[in-house]
Amino acid sequence: MGKSSSPIAYTKCHAGRRSKTSLGERAAGSLESTDRHVGHTLKSGPSRCLRRTLTPFLVDRSHEPFWVGRLQGKGLQFSQDNSYCINICSMGCGGKMKAEYRPQYFGALESMRGMAALTVALYHTGWTNPVSDLAFVRNGYLMVDFFFVLSGFVICHSYGGKIDSFRSFSRFIWLRLGRLYPLHVALLFVFLAFEFSKKYAADHYGLTSSAAPFHNNNLYSFVTNIFLIQSLNLHNSLTYNGPSWSISSEFYTYIVFGSTLLLLKPRYALILGSILIVTGGLGVLAVAGITSLDDATIRWGFFRCLVGFFMGVLTYQGYLVARPHLMSSRRSWLAENLVSAISLFAVAIYLSIKPPYSDDYFILPMLMLLIFSAAIPDTLVSKVFSARPIRWLGKVSYSVYMVHAAVAWLLGQILTIIIKVPATWSAGHTFRIAHPSITVGTSFVLLYVGLVLIVSRFTFNLIEEPFRRLSRAICVSNDGHTEPRPLQNST
């Protein structure tokens, strides 16, 4: 077999004659042709027809040469690059071969999501310290918008071509619920335990916390959190695990996204629909008088999420247009590295000089460009952010985002109640800020980050991953086949 632009599978063998079925993308095409073969079962001929060493061939020009594995035993496995991989398992003479497609993996984007989650955690520290005084950290609330845009990009990548019926739509919603809901419920009960502990401390020891027990975190808000509707303008302030407002907004944004795919199947219609949703969402925020995106959380957070998510969808559509060039031999390494570096430093510099809670909307197109450029393979930025330690942080980023508020609350109580550090009320009189010395404040920041990472590792291994697998296993039992795993799970 000579060089080819796509993987080849042998489907029938009769008297030495072989017919070939293309499973990959054509020379300048996209992965859409591959999608049609997902889960497709092929008949294999006599195994002697496969007893040969497979030679190198090209999958895309950005990773040449792409080496295929050798036939070993009864099966063969195609190696994977950063674009996609196809696994073919031969069951021997007269058996079957099953082709499985795995889409492109954006390692740099996952790492960036981990860094963004850690920035949000630092933004939510409940005591003064040198790190929290940095302008970049004080603008850390805008990292939530990075999550939204990134989520739109990767969800459109993973599911954009696979939601074409009510059944596939239901499967998509179920898988996303299995990804978000278990950890949300676990942290909801953790904060419920905090309320009982606050009440016990107040009744028996006269100790008071930032808010009276069960004042905001009451039965009504518990019910809204159980049904993930706490961000749909039902409360005047954050309840229980505050960061979960974005999980509520994003879940219902998934429903809008899936419905949009069902109604607007042509690609140009999806682009037009996304533009209309972004425009409508911005219009609602403008009419509501939202000048800072931080004001759009528990009340207008759903529209904030819609804007960011569908900006991510539009970013991915632009990436699809540019991908044939990015995967060709004519790509400009210098230009791609300049664009990715400039977009990264532009976001970092803007967040470092911008006054908090003002001029927030300018960050949205900058985030679109950053995500687009970080998705380009083999740039220096993508390689740096693909380092293993940073990739691990991206892997547990959802846990980091969800558990940090609980860790911050516990350390805040230690500072104010046990160490008796003086504290003052926040501007909105919703929580107290401790004012330790620089040494104590910095030490607690380091302790805080360490505890968040440790707890996140446990919640990922004990809650996130088992329930993700369970939700997918239920889909398999109901459908008889699987879908490609989402590459970057949103936070």
Q: Which residue has the tokens 């699987």?
A: 482
In the chain (491 residues long), the average pLDDT of successive 10-residue segments reads 36 36 35 35 35 32 31 35 37 40 70 94 89 90 96 92 88 93 96 91 76 84 94 89 94 94 84 94 94 90 96 93 73 81 93 92 95 86 83 93 95 87 65 81 93 96 93 77 47 47
Structure tokens at 415: 């500072």
Q: For residues 236 and 395, what is the distance between their CA atoms, to the nearest angstrom? A: 33
Quote the pTM value: 0.77
Q: Which residue has the tokens 């360490």?
A: 450
Cβ contact 253:306 at 8 Å: yes
Domain boundaries, the chain: 8-102, 107-479
- Please give the DSSP secondary-structure letter assigned to residue 92: S
If we measure between CA atoms, which residue out of 429, 453, 451, 443 comes closest to residue 128? Answer: 443
pLDDT of residue 336: 83
Cβ contact 160:261 at 8 Å: yes
**What letter represents residue 100's amino acid?**
E
Is residue 432 helix, strand or coil? strand
pLDDT of residue 477: 74
pLDDT of residue 430: 55
pLDDT of residue 327: 67
DSSP assignments along 356-401, one per residue = TTSS-TTHHHHHHHHHHHHTSTT-HHHHHTTSHHHHHHHHTHHHHH
pLDDT of residue 431: 63
Q: For residues 189 and 197, what is the distance between their CA atoms, to the nearest angstrom? A: 12
